C-alpha cells in the first residue's frame, strides 16, 4: 500500500482509504461488513472513513466492532459531524456545526466507534447559520480534549476552506483535509479548491472515485442494473447513484474499457488510480459491498497512468465530465436521508 501525508500534517494515511457510506448498517449484513474491513486491513489499508449520520449511527457502530482488537495506533479513523443522528423526534440543535452539536456529536461518535479519539474529525458540510468562529472554537476544544487529532471539512468551497483554515491557525489547531467528490466524471475541485488547498497545505480525501460503481463499467446502456448493485438498493443507494445512470454517461464510460485493458487494469482500478494522479489528493475513499471489490480496488495504489492515456480518457468522456462549481449545489447527493 502507498501512504501519503495528509496535507502538510505529519500524519500519513493509506492512499486507498475505506469508507462505509450506504453499506455498513444498511445495504450489507454485518458479517460482510466485517469481511470487507478485514480485506482492507489485509491489503494494507489503515485509514477508515465513516460519519455519524451514515445509517443513522449504525455505520460507526459496525466499523467500531469490525476494528475492535486491532491495535489503535496502527489505524487512522475519520468521522464527521453535521447531520442529525439518533431516534426521532430530533431537536433544533441536532443539526449543523454549533458548539452544542459538535460537542454532543463527538461523544456520540466515540461511543459508537468504541474509541477514545478519532484521528480526523470532519465538518460534513458548511453551516451557513452558525458563526464560523463558534464552529472552529468548538473543534479546537475537541482537539484539546484529545477526542480528535486533526480537523477536516467536506464539500466546503475554496473561500470557506480559506476562512476556516485562518481561524484554525489562530486557534493553534490543524485543519488538514478537505473531503470532496472527485472522479473522472466529477472534477469540480480542480478549478479553485485544489489550488487553494495546495497553497494552505490541505490534502483532499476524495469520495466516490468510481462514481458509486459506474466507472467499474458494470452498468451498461439499455440493460438492467446487475442484481445486488447499488443501483438496485432501494434503501437509499439507488437514489444516490441515479444521476450517473443515463445512457450518455454509460456509453462514454464503456469507451474507457480499451484504455484500462491496455494498462492491465480493471476499469474500477483505472478510476481509482486516476484520482490518485492528482498530487493534492491524499487518499481515494473507496466503498465496497463485498471483500473482492476491496482487494481489486486497493491495487490501484502506486499505479502511474501515462500522459497519453490521461488525454484519451478526457477525449472519450468528452462533455459528460462535470467541472463547473455552479453545478454543485444542485447535484451533490445529500446523505441526510440515508
Ligand atoms: P465508490 O465510488 O468507491 O463506490 C463504491 C461502490 O461501487 C461499492 O459500494 C460497490 O457498490 C461498487 N464497486 C466498488 N468496487 C467495485 C468493483 N471493483 N466492481 C464493481 N463495483 C464496484 O465510493 P462510494 O460512493 O461508496 O463512497 C466512498 C466513501 O466516500 C464513502 O463510504 C464515504 O466514506 C465517503 N463519502 C463521503 C461523502 C461526503 O459527503 N463527505 C459522500 C459520499 C461518500 P455495489 O456493489 O453495491 O454496486
pLDDT band, very low/low/confident/very high, at 119 (cuts 50, 70, 90): very high
- pTM score of the predicted model: 0.96
CA pair distance 141, 17, nearest whole angstrom: 27
Q: Evaluate whether residue 258 is within a structural domain.
A: no
Q: Assess if residue 328 is contained within a domain.
A: no
C-alpha cell at 223: 440493460
pLDDT at 83: 97
128 occurs within a structural domain: yes
Tens of pLDDT, residue by residue over 144-154, are 999 999 999 99
Number of structural domains (the chain) is 1
Are 160 and 197 within 8 A, CB to CB?
Answer: no
Taking the C-alpha atoms of residue 58 and residue 26, their distance in angstroms, rounded to an integer, is 8
Residue partners of 321: CB distance under 8 A and separation at least 6: 184, 185, 186, 187, 314
What pLDDT score does 305 carry?
Answer: 98
Task: Evaluate whether residue 85 is within a structural domain.
Answer: yes
**If you measure from the C-alpha of residue 255 to the centroid of ligand 1, how many angstroms do you get, rounded to a whole number?**
21
Residue 198 counted as domain residue:
yes
Q: What is the pLDDT of residue 28?
A: 87
Whether residue 239 lies inside any domain: the answer is no
Whose C-alpha lies nearest to ligand 1, atom 12? 213
Instruction: Quote the pLDDT of residue 242.
Output: 93
Instruction: Report in angstroms the alpha-carbon separations of 335 from 56, 325, 331.
Output: 10, 19, 12
For ligand 1, the distance from its centroid to the CA atom of residue 210, given in whole angstroms, is 7
Average pLDDT over residues 245-263: 97
Residue 252 located in a structural domain: no
Q: Residue 142's domain spans which residues?
A: 3-214+276-304
Catalytic residue selected from 18, 54, 82, 182: 54
d(CA 131, CA 260): 47
Phi, psi of 174 (to 5 degrees): -105, 115
Each residue of 31-64: pLDDT tens digit?
A: 999 999 999 999 999 999 999 999 999 999 999 9
* Phi, psi angles (nearest 5°) of residue 6: -80, 100
CATH, residue 82: 3.20.20.100
Best probe residue, ligand 1, of 286, 295, 297 (max atoms within 8 Å of C-beta): 286
Which pLDDT does position 330 carry in this prediction?
A: 54
User: Is 58 contained in some domain?
Assistant: yes
Residue nearest to atom 48 of ligand 1 (CA): 229
Atom of ligand 1 nearest to the CA of 218: 20
219 is catalytic: no
Answer whether 155 contacts ligand 1 (Cβ < 6 A).
yes
Query: Could you report the per-residue pLDDT of 191-248, keeping only the tens digit for each?
Result: 999 999 999 999 999 999 999 999 999 999 999 999 999 999 988 899 999 999 999 9
CA 10 to centroid of ligand 1, rounded, Å: 27
Given this model, what pLDDT does residue 337 score? 37
Q: Which pLDDT value is given to residue 54?
A: 94
Average of per-residue pLDDT values in the chain: 95
Amino acid at each position: 500500500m502507498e501512504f501519503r501525508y495528509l496535507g502538510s500534517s505529519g500524519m500519513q494515511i493509506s492512499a486507498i482509504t475505506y469508507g462505509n457510506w450506504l453499506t455498513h448498517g444498511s445495504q450489507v449484513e454485518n458479517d460482510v461488513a466485517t469481511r470487507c474491513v478485514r480485506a482492507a486491513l489485509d491489503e494494507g489499508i489503515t485509514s477508515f472513513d465513516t460519519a455519524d449520520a451514515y445509517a443513522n449511527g449504525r455505520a460507526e457502530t459496525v466499523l467500531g466492532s469490525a476494528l475492535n482488537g486491532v491495535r489503535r495506533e496502527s489505524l487512522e479513523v475519520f468521522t464527521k459531524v453535521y447531520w442529525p443522528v439518533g431516534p426521532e423526534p430530533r431537536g433544533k440543535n441536532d443539526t449543523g456545526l454549533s458548539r452544542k452539536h459538535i460537542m454532543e456529536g463527538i461523544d456520540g461518535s466515540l461511543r459508537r466507534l468504541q474509541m477514545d479519539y478519532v484521528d480526523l474529525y470532519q465538518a460534513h458540510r458548511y453551516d451557513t447559520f452558525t458563526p464560523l468562529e463558534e464552529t472552529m472554537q468548538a473543534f479546537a476544544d475537541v482537539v484539546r480534549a484529545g477526542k480528535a487529532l486533526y480537523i477536516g471539512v467536506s464539500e466546503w468551497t475554496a473561500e470557506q476552506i480559506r476562512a476556516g483554515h485562518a481561524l484554525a491557525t489562530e486557534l493553534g489547531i490543524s485543519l488538514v483535509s478537505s473531503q470532496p467528490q472527485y472522479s473522472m466524471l466529477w472534477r469540480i475541485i480542480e478549478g479553485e479548491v485544489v489550488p487553494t488547498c495546495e497553497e494552505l497545505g490541505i490534502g483532499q480525501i476524495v469520495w466516490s472515485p468510481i462514481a458509486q460503481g459506474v466507472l467499474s463499467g458494470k452498468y451498461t446502456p439499455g440493460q438492467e442494473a446487475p442484481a445486488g448493485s447499488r443501483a438496485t438498493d432501494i434503501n437509499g443507494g439507488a437514489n444516490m447513484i441515479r444521476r450517473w445512470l443515463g445512457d450518455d454517461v454509460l456509453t462514454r464510460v464503456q469507451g474507457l474499457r480499451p484504455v484500462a485493458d491496455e494498462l492491465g487494469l480493471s476499469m474500477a482500478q483505472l478510476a481509482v488510480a486516476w484520482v490518485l494522479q492528482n498530487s493534492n489528493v491524499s487518499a481515494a475513499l473507496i466503498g465496497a459491498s463485498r471483500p473482492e471489490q476491496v482487494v481489486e480496488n486497493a491495487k490501484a495504489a502506486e499505479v502511474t497512468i501515462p500522459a497519453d492515456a490521461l488525454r484519451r480518457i478526457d477525449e472519450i468522456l468528452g462533455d459528460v465530465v462535470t467541472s463547473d462549481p455552479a453545478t454543485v449545489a444542485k447535484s451533490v447527493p445529500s446523505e441526510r436521508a440515508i
